[in-house]
Amino acid sequence: MPRVPSVSPATGHPTPPYFIHTTDAQFVDNAGRSLLLRGVNLSGSTKAPTGRQSQTLDGFWESGEEGSESFVGRPLNIDDGSADVHLARLKGWGFNMLRYVVTWEALEHQGPGQYDYEFMDYTVRVLRKCKEYGFWIYMDPHQDIWSRFSGGSGAPYWTLPACGIDPRNFTATQAAIVHCEYPNPAEADPSKLPAMIWSTNYGRLASQTLFTLFFAGRDFAPKCIIDGVNIQDYLQSHYIDAMGELADRIRDAGDLVDECVIGWDSLNEPYEGFCGYPDLNEYPSEQTSTLKKGTFPTPAQSLRLGMGQKQTVDNWKFGAFGPKRDGTVTIDPQGYRMWADPVSEPDGVHPTWGWRRDPAWTLGTCIWALHGVWDVESGYVIAPDYFKAFPSDMDRDVEFLEDYWRPHWQAFGARMRKAQPEAILFVAPPVFAPPPPISEQDLKGRCCYSTHYYDGLTLVTRHWNWFNADALGILRGKYKSPVQAVKFGERAIRKSLQEQLGVLKDDCKILGSYPTIIGEIGIPYDMDGKKAYGYTDGGKYRGDYAGQQKALDASLNATDGPNALSYTIWTYCPDSSHMWGDGWNLEDLSLWSPDDLRLKDEYQMPFAESSSAGLLKKASTFAGGNASRASTLTLSTMQPLDGRSEDKPRVIDSLDPWENAYDFLTDGARAVKAFCRPYPRAIVGVPADIQFDINKAVFKFSVRVRPEDLPRAEALLPPKPSSSSSGTSSTLVPEPEQLATEIYVPLVHYASDKVVSHFAREQSPDDETCLPDSRSSTPVVIAPGSRRPSISDLSASWKSGPKALGTPLALSVEVSEGRWVLDGQMLKWWYPVPSAAEGERTYTITISRDGGAIKAQSPKRTCSLWKMLTSCCRLM
């Protein structure tokens, strides 16, 4: 790693010890070690307000029209103690990075320019709690399909009437599929919403119109003037100002920016709308976000439906071999229109939101008809290629990324940098689209390419198949025929997934020598008719996540190998449930669910029906205070709440319900062995290859080390204090320890037989046999003090009393060079950095579990354990 600069490339200010650099295609700490940042999205639940999951119809429209919903309590309950348990779990799984989900609606739901400062202050509190646990965070301005009120998440309700739209008629016109109204408001049964059909909204009129106005309203909708500005400027300025207001609030907190919140992602999964469509009479062939499933109108048919005209459209079904046309369906809106009635704005002024609409923008009719795209009376599309080229220059075709997305990204990034000058700006173009070139004047040496990847076949079919396809290769034109993209067998599938992520990593070269993070990656847990939840076969397979484990391991294995990618898995939802999944459009990707806890009666985690924020009852009594300055933050600092009634379920606010750390980290987790995996967190050198065999619990890591990779340990220390003015006293500053490569070694895979057997009650609880307290190839004295709190030694919380089990890990370690020492779940490995004369060297470490991989415990034994702890037990 080239010696990191002592001053920031963005500001020229000296870099503090906690500074994270983005150079040489890596995240790099201030000492010059490469970093892998891996974690989760916190949280998918944040797409909806507290207590208002997407299946709830009662009060849905009214609360939006009033702007009364609050997101306080998202993503974690900071007041009842449960946040500490959730964050301890995430930290114990080895995660060090959070993608923190926040929506525009959460900030500005009360109306244009009316900010929810209570929610912003609550967000600061949650961020501080995350900081206590040592997490780095990048903020995610999240959206899907524009808004909750158009079938997704993101923008506040008032943006829809601002665009001249009446969202209450989305279902009738099929301009959008809205979960709580599915299949129609009169006979709503949201539990029947087909898997992933929400994403077909990208091919429907509401989303197509809203994103066109947001990104390109000045060019394609010049008549759409509101409060004296084009709708594009109106929407973008409100969105950027709202996110900027939150960024200012985080900055003003004084202890979060750069040290914890390292930067900002750009708008989640942006969509081009109509921009670049070659022919409105045909299905778009180049869109990357549109799933063919269910009814699938052409853009021209959508325009007619939006004006209440009956249309017969193609219907599609998605099977194991992808989408297939399945006849036609006639949609009759019965005269309902997507467009707002003129009476909703007397004299051109909205009675609730207060904006004034330009007289040329006539309500009640399609804005694209107003601009001469089509004729409402005849239904004829006058200008089918209207969106293909610039109206002012018909000889120049639209390039969405360069012409519309990049200017927005630049404006957003400039506002975030105003609040946080050192912010790492994450570049997130549309899904699977390579980023456009961006000037270094905008990037300023502080950038990361943020892309998403899902195994689409598994996601849509909800099944782990024996075949798959190179979806990215098909979209990028790699194959003459899609048949060539098909991969058969698990080995070929895993190889293909890894190659696809390698292609995405290579896309970053367009931006420069910056790191890449996979901002979203994950799998559905409700596979095969929710078999793992006991919904099939008489409950025979309840708790069996074998298929999910194979699917998630294949996806996360793709981030390993030579790719060595950072990532944040989608998602972790504190109020996940088997019935409603993540609480949004029946997506069910949460790594953990309270419905999978082995213990249900005496203790409880917040459930989807009540929501975590509905439990804002008691102030947390957890110790910690200024824990971010301590050398460690172990789970032993957590204390249970006092004075709780014993005659009703108690919120889990401590670790009392769990036998040991292994018990804690596996309880409620789904396919935990797939996502709780070993990886190098800080590396002296550059990662060359990462291999992990989940079935054998064998981890192998190779690192390339060059002369310039010698780390500077002193760069991680705070500045030395100046001597006192009297000169009679001084502060002793310890010498920094030699920096090592740090590898997370998960208890989930490498727990000792003592730990596992105690958990499973295979040994007598009074057995006094213990393993040695430490394992090391060479005795190493570890200098005290660390910039970030750590709970890598999770077993410390159970080292006293009857639960003491000695060293929790059973390892066999082989290194090609150097020495190592185990510290909790962290293995430190020292090796020589070659001299200039020696040149580059490659070192390898292999970590295995003594006795082989841990075997799954039988449900019967697990149940008997909980019967010993409580009088009531529910086997999951």
Report the distance separating Cα 118 and Cα 245, nearest Å.
12
> What single-letter amino acid sits at 659?
E
Report the distance separating Cα 230 and Cα 219, nearest Å.
10
- CB atoms closer than 10 angstroms to residue 382: 12
**Which residues is 847 bridged to in the sheet?**
699, 813
> Among the options 105, 245, 269, 742, which is catalytic?
269
Pairing relationship of beta strands 34-35 and 679-683 according to DSSP bridges? antiparallel
Confirm if 585 and 483 have CB atoms less than 8 A apart. no
Report the distance separating Cα 571 and Cα 88, nearest Å.
16
> What single-letter amino acid sits at 799?
K
Give the residue among 585, 598, 792, 501 at the shortest CA–CA distance from 150. Answer: 585
Token pair of 150 as six digits: 């158009």
Helices (H), 101-204: 104-108, 117-132, 159-162, 170-173
Secondary structure (H, E, C), 742-800: EEECCHHHHECHHHHHHHHCCCCCCCCCCCCCCCECCCCCCCCCCCCCCCCCHHHHHCC
Token pair of 243 as six digits: 């996110």
Report the distance separating Cα 621 and Cα 634, nearest Å.
15
Report the distance separating Cα 658 and Cα 666, nearest Å.
10
Give residues with Cβ within 8 angstroms of 805, minimum separation 6: 660, 752, 754, 755, 758, 770, 795, 798
Torsion sign, CA atoms 604, 606, 609, 610:
positive
Helices (H), 3-81: 60-66
**Which residues is 829 bridged to in the sheet?**
741, 820
| 269 is an active site residue | yes
> Among the options 520, 587, 659, 742, which is catalytic?
520
Instruction: Provide long-range contacts, Cβ within 8 A and 24+ apart, for 224-227.
Output: 224/163, 224/164, 224/358, 224/361, 224/367, 225/357, 225/358, 225/360, 225/361, 226/162, 226/355, 226/356, 226/357, 226/358, 226/361, 227/355, 227/356
Give the residue among 379, 401, 403 at the shortest CA–CA distance from 392. Answer: 403
Give residues with Cβ within 8 angstroms of 73, minimum separation 6: 50, 122, 611, 612, 613, 614, 616
User: In which element (H, E) is residue 395 found?
Assistant: strand 393-397
> What single-letter amino acid sits at 658?
W
Report the distance separating Cα 426 and Cα 409, nearest Å.
10
Report the distance separating Cα 192 and Cα 559, nearest Å.
34
Which residues are known to be catalytic?
A: 269, 520
